Structure 1
Amino acid sequence: MLAPSTPQSCLPAQRWCIASPPPDLVAAIAAATGLSPLLARVLIERGADTPERAALHVNPEAMALPDPLEAFPDLAKSVDLLQRAIADGTAIAICGDYDADGMTSTALLLRALGHAGAQVDYAIPSRMQEGYGINCRIVEEFAAAGVGLILTVDNGIAAYDAIARAVELGLEAIVTDHHDLPAKLPPAGAILNPKLLPEESPYRGLAGVGVAYVLAVTLARSQGQLAGLTGPLLELFTLGTIADLAPLTGVNRRWLRRGLRLLPQSRLAGVQSLMQIAGVKDDRNAVKPEDIGFRLGPRINAIGRLSDPQIAIELLATDDPSTALARAMQCEAVNRQRQQLCRDIEREAIGLLDEDRADWQQHRAIVLVQPHWHHGVIGIVASRLVERYGVPVFLGTHEDDAGEHLRGSARSIPEFHVFEALEFCSDLLEKFGGHKAAGGFSLVAKNLDAFRDRLSRFAHRCLQPEHLKPLVAIDTRADFPDLTSALYQEIDSLQPWGIGNEQPVFWTPNVCVLAQRRVGENHLKATFVQPTHPQIELQAIAWRWGEYLPLPPRIDIAYKLRENSWQGRTSIELELVGVRAVNQAVEPSGAAVLATNPTAGPNPIAQITGPSEPSVESPTPLSSELQQTEFQHQGRAYACRFWSVRDELRIRNGRGQTLCVRRGRRIGMLHPGSGAATEIDVTRSPYCHIVKAAIAALESP
């Protein structure tokens, strides 16, 4: 149903950044890759701005990778330490993390070291009691249990005291991590961290599971035991890398292409069960990053956030189908709990922020603490608030019953570096860590006001008022005829898209809203048409945008393309990421027949007159909203709709031809479905009779 333009129509506050690469460079990239100019523009914005780089982006398998043993200074030392421990029968203990990256890393090394004959166990700190990273308690328990070598995964780079305690107790330590480097590195026997590599290294963007994968594969290769191991390890690498929002560039892009192709026929019982529970189809050539990002990853992460990480480790490490299914079902149940907690906290946070908008806009950062919020999910809510408000968000909760200690999570916008902000506040914090886009922290409650003020000082150094809106980064303009299945297949051939290599975002100006409604809990579903191409109507979904109903009748839209399959039919849809008011100075050309007329009255076609045929009249007014129906005329099937905002009637026949006629006009336009439209005198037979039949069908109860 088309909602009328009313004073209640509102649009999200956004800032649009529309790329404009040089036309000659676009032509060169298109020629070098064979891609359309639209996709050539996208590649340029992804850094593939030379024919050579573009060719590697299209075919990452052609990338010349340096030997990991040469790229990572301590990799040979790490392999040597592991080989000696395995040969001597020394117990090895893995200290992992409770997020998807840390748990897939732990499961990966459990498999690899077990395959190599190691005596290996693991531990993960308590999220609620201890927080992130290895600590002295874990080190001392390892020592008491006879462990000789500690191996951290996805943590440890900032754990100076814990690693120093391990050395003091006579334990060897290998730190594998990917988080930003502190001023003082821990005294481990070996450190593997891509942040220690040059910026241009293809390994620079590895997540924790990527570092674990490099170590595991190098160890297995050195022992001649790589056969049969690479596939399962690559599946875990793929899950952890995408779930951790690691950049899908460099070696990640190359390895993920392989891993995504392996997942539909996974050799891991846990992955098979998780895909079954999450509804990820196994009949495709490859799983897509969004399947992991929105279905598989959240179910793994939910365990670490709300339950016992051992559930997820067993899921990913077991080869027993019954155990795998049981653990997958536990993941599903906990994920449903996580979803409800997120909804409740987000709703409460929005209420608080909307009441005091001026305060956080003045501070240029959001800092909210509530005692009853669950620490395990506030990071997710922080991400949603960044998406909504476009400012850095720091959410916290009480760490103890007395409320004397707080723990929080931070998420950010491109212009604000979370880790540097936390370093700027380090004297006020008990513990912190993270990277540019996200981080975690803890502090004494009495320091909260000082922490908020210090963050504001940091924010004023790097953020201007114009930054305080969600950013919509747009690659290029597209018209609706460009948005074909062929274009979608071209986009899909360049998978994986994701963090650091985002899916293309297109924009189209001055589109008209044919219909809109709320679906699900708070999503917006709409139908759009571009006046210059009225024969093409496209469906769109906007996640969590129900509050913006109704959209105005005419808007500019920014969107991604998605494929929708329903009852055996596949169509191209839009996923809205941005809308804005139409720039009245930019008007489409050649749209006289379907020019928008938002001030038109509520009545439909009043009459279509002509000298040789009787007039066609609508004896009673139709509703001011969109009306549509199907009818039969002289044995043929038609579909019709009347759009009051434009005083326009459209009639489509079974051959895909569409007749468009506006009230009071005798000349309509017949659109053949492809090619140019032709003018039609709708007062003449057979068109006037078809129009009469359409009006009668619309008026029938």
Structure 2
Amino acid sequence: MGLRIRRREPVAPGPGWPDSIPPLLRRIYAARGIRDPGLARPRLAQLPSPAGLGGVAEAVRLLADAIARDVRILVVGDFDADGATACAVAVRGLRMLGARDVVHAVPNRALHGYGLSPGLVEELAALDPGLLVTVDHGVACHAGVAAARARGWRVLVTDHHLPGDTLPPADAIVNPNLRGDVFACKALAGVGVIFYVLLALRARLRGDGAFAARSEPDLSRLLDLVAVGTVADLVPLDASNRALVAAGLRRLRAGQGCAGLQALAEVSGRRLETLTAADIGYAIAPRLNAAGRLEDMSPGIECLLTDDPGRAHELAGLLHRINAERRGLQQAMVDDAEAALARLPTAAGEPPPALCLFDPDWHAGVVGLVASKMKERLHRPVVAFAPAGPGSPELRGSARSIPGLHIRDVLAAVDSAHPGLLGRFGGHAMAAGLSLRREALAAFEQAFAAAVQAVLDPALLQAELLSDGELLPGEFDRFHAEAIRDGGPWGQGFAEPLFDGEFEVLDCRPVGERHLRLRLRADGVRTPLAAIHFGGQQDAPPSQHCRLAYRLAPDDWRGGDAIQLVVEHREPA
């Protein structure tokens, strides 16, 4: 099945929209279920109270007690961008709230695997914390939590991943996705969960009179980090997450972000004044993630914690170089995956409904990116595996899914039907991770395919681009391009506007190794339109008349009133 453009059903905007929001943007909001102007751009004041988050009262008691007794607090992060930003938020926030002895650690992907493990606890024993706080993990780390408790440490788990049937033996667990938790913000990333815990801790300390002799800390200074972690983890941008991300973007655009994020924006060639969620997702987050994928996330966390601009630029440059290495490795692995797919039997020219990929030479830190690329190309759920380390008998797998198929639930179904087949697993609707014995790969592949076919509606295998329809001739301008850019944040679950229409191709030339620069004519538009199709050289040359799916964007490189169409898909008209 080829890619299909489908237009969203038109929805009339409700009344009461201010003149500052143009009709085009009102139509876009309405198509995403927002007809009330007050919900289009949520504010921090609309966030639900932290007091409603399950487990937060006990978490605050642990933290307040640790601060009062001046015991060491050890924050253990994760090796992705959400985990790194959550670690930085926890360390910075606890220090702002009066904790004087806060240290942090993060597992090494190759040495420790995911999360708080007994091996990591043993390695951290010399730190001798009074309280250990996990961020962006912990709800599946039963053995690691038990090992920490056995040493006499108190343990606070803050996480957002879906829990299993049992919970680890922590002193307190804060996770909006625990069974029975009625907190409204189910889509918080790990960084959002720890930010909420800090808000609740500040309220507790305020009530205790802790700020009588000093000014109350402004936790909004952490929102730049919250925005980056939230966007990077691809959690749905519901109203709460949009409020958090929008506030963080405002800080970054105003030059008020931490030194590390400002440096990462600079090395990735992004302008702070016009930074968007897409810039975070495609430029900042990959550089931050690269350290945890290939080496050790410690430089990434240090970059987010330093207040020295010179040190921040030094670390950002290191992360930029690691990311370049990651990109080269990723491309080689994607090429291997495509060669393997070409050898697979197909039915009527279509790939199977679910795919497992493995190569003994792949790097475990990059398989998630390979799974994502293959999922996008084939529109099928994909699990990519690599050895956990050189010569290891264990495989690490990363799964990516398509809309409508909850991949973590599929893994749970495999685990239920075949006890002992999987090692550990966890994740979300669209992405998950797992471990597996190498000799069990063939059995997993069969079980995974059966579990997918048991719940998958075949109609979901038709890849679609959802379009917001055609633009009017008067909407191809800088005013509307900037209104769309600033009308977000756009992202997972709140899709960036995409339009479609027919164009005459006046000129076409290659740019770099993979891209195409186009000059187009549209009916009713007097001047030709500039367009860029990233990766467009891989497709057949464009015909003179094309139907395009595209985004409308300001062309900051040319400046002035210039705009460009960013082509996502093209087909003959």
Please, what TM-score do these two structures have when normalized by structure 1?
Answer: 0.75
CA contact (8 A) 1:205 1:250 kept: no
Q: Which residue of 1 aligns with 2:91?
A: 110
- Tell me if 1:20 matches 2:2: no
Give 1:134's match in structure 2, choosing from 116, 128, 148. 116
Give the letter aligned to residue 220 of structure 1: R
Q: Please, which moves more after superposition, 450-459 or 192-201? A: 192-201
CA contact (8 A) 1:523 1:542 kept: yes
Give 1:578's match in structure 2, choosing from 566, 569, 572. 569
Aligned counterparts, 1:237-386, within 5 A = 237-264=226-253, 265-266=255-256, 268-282=258-272, 284=273, 287-356=275-344, 358=346, 361=350, 363-386=352-375
Q: Which residue of 2 aligns with 1:636?
A: none
Deviations 1:182-238 (A, max 9, x none): 121222221111223889855222111111111223323424377454243112112
Q: Which residue of 1 aligns with 2:145?
A: 163
**What CA distance in whole angstroms lies between the structure 2 residues aligned with 1:526 and 1:109?**
47
Aligned counterparts, 1:461-540, within 5 A = 461-508=454-501, 510-530=502-522, 532-533=523-524, 535-540=526-531
**What CA distance in whole angstroms lies between the structure 2 residues aligned with 1:217 and 1:63?**
13
Give 1:415's match in structure 2, choosing from 404, 410, 414. 404
Question: In the comparison of the two structures, how many residue pairs are matched?
Answer: 558
Deviations 1:233-274 (A, max 9, x none): 112112211122222222221122221111131352222322
- Cα gap change, 1:38/1:270 in structure 2, threshold over 3 Å: closer, same or farther? closer
Can you give the 5+ residue segments of structure 2 that lack an aligned partner in the other structure? none
- Cα gap change, 1:268/1:566 in structure 2, threshold over 3 Å: closer, same or farther? closer
- Cα gap change, 1:13/1:479 in structure 2, threshold over 3 Å: closer, same or farther? farther
**What CA distance in whole angstroms lies between the structure 2 residues aligned with 1:185 and 1:43?**
39
**What CA distance in whole angstroms lies between the structure 2 residues aligned with 1:514 and 1:174?**
61
- Cα gap change, 1:15/1:38 in structure 2, threshold over 3 Å: closer, same or farther? same
How far residue 398 of structure 1 moved from its aligned partner, in angstroms, is: 1.7
Q: Give SS of 2:386's match.
A: strand
How far residue 447 of structure 1 moved from its aligned partner, in angstroms, is: 1.3
Superposed CA RMSD in Å reads 2.4
Give the letter aligned to residue 274 of structure 1: L
CA contact (8 A) 1:524 1:549 kept: no
**What CA distance in whole angstroms lies between the structure 2 residues aligned with 1:545 and 1:195?**
41
CA contact (8 A) 1:389 1:469 kept: no
Give 1:29's match in structure 2, choosing from 4, 9, 14. 14
Q: Give SS of 2:111's match.
A: coil
Q: Which residue of 2 aligns with 1:629?
A: none
**What CA distance in whole angstroms lies between the structure 2 residues aligned with 1:439 and 1:270?**
28
- Cα gap change, 1:171/1:295 in structure 2, threshold over 3 Å: closer, same or farther? same
**What CA distance in whole angstroms lies between the structure 2 residues aligned with 1:317 and 1:274?**
13
**What CA distance in whole angstroms lies between the structure 2 residues aligned with 1:188 and 1:258?**
32
**What CA distance in whole angstroms lies between the structure 2 residues aligned with 1:198 and 1:389?**
37
- Cα gap change, 1:482/1:17 in structure 2, threshold over 3 Å: closer, same or farther? same
Deviations 1:594-646 (A, max 9, x none): xxxxxxxxxxxxxxxxxxxxxxxxxxxxxxxxxxxxxxxxxxxxxxxxxxxxx
CA contact (8 A) 2:72 2:101 kept: yes
Q: Please, which moves more after superposition, 318-327 or 565-574? A: 565-574
CA contact (8 A) 1:178 1:194 kept: yes
Aligned counterparts, 1:613-652, within 5 A = none
Q: Which residue of 2 aligns with 1:78?
A: 59
Q: Give SS of 1:413's match.
A: coil
- Cα gap change, 1:267/1:365 in structure 2, threshold over 3 Å: closer, same or farther? closer
CA contact (8 A) 1:246 1:499 kept: yes
**What CA distance in whole angstroms lies between the structure 2 residues aligned with 1:575 and 1:270?**
29
Q: Between Structure 1 and Structure 2, which shows a larger proportion of strand residues?
A: 1
Q: Which residue of 2 aligns with 1:587?
A: none
- Tell me if 1:98 matches 2:79: yes
CA contact (8 A) 1:481 1:536 kept: no
Give 2:538's match in structure 1, choosing from 521, 544, 547. 547
Structure whose CA Rg is larger: 1
Give 1:391's match in structure 2, choosing from 380, 396, 404. 380
Give 1:153's match in structure 2, choosing from 97, 113, 135. 135
How far residue 166 of structure 1 moved from its aligned partner, in angstroms, is: 2.7
CA contact (8 A) 2:326 2:366 kept: yes
CA contact (8 A) 1:30 1:37 kept: no
Percent of paired sites with the same residue: 34
- Cα gap change, 1:534/1:174 in structure 2, threshold over 3 Å: closer, same or farther? closer
CA contact (8 A) 1:197 1:204 kept: no
Deviations 1:285-318 (A, max 9, x none): x521122112211111111111221111111111
- Cα gap change, 1:249/1:198 in structure 2, threshold over 3 Å: closer, same or farther? farther
Deviations 1:10-57 (A, max 9, x none): xx92033321135xxx1x426545544443332123221xx4xx3123
Please, what TM-score do these two structures have when normalized by structure 2?
Answer: 0.91
**What CA distance in whole angstroms lies between the structure 2 residues aligned with 1:296 and 1:197?**
34
Q: Give SS of 2:104's match.
A: strand
CA contact (8 A) 1:396 1:407 kept: yes
- Cα gap change, 1:566/1:87 in structure 2, threshold over 3 Å: closer, same or farther? closer
Give 1:214's match in structure 2, choosing from 192, 196, 200. 196
Q: Please, which moves more after superposition, 79-88 or 511-520? A: 511-520
**What CA distance in whole angstroms lies between the structure 2 residues aligned with 1:200 and 1:144?**
39
How far residue 559 of structure 1 moved from its aligned partner, in angstroms, is: 1.4
Q: Which residue of 2 aligns with 1:44?
A: 30
CA contact (8 A) 1:206 1:241 kept: yes
**What CA distance in whole angstroms lies between the structure 1 residues aligned with 2:513 and 2:18?**
42
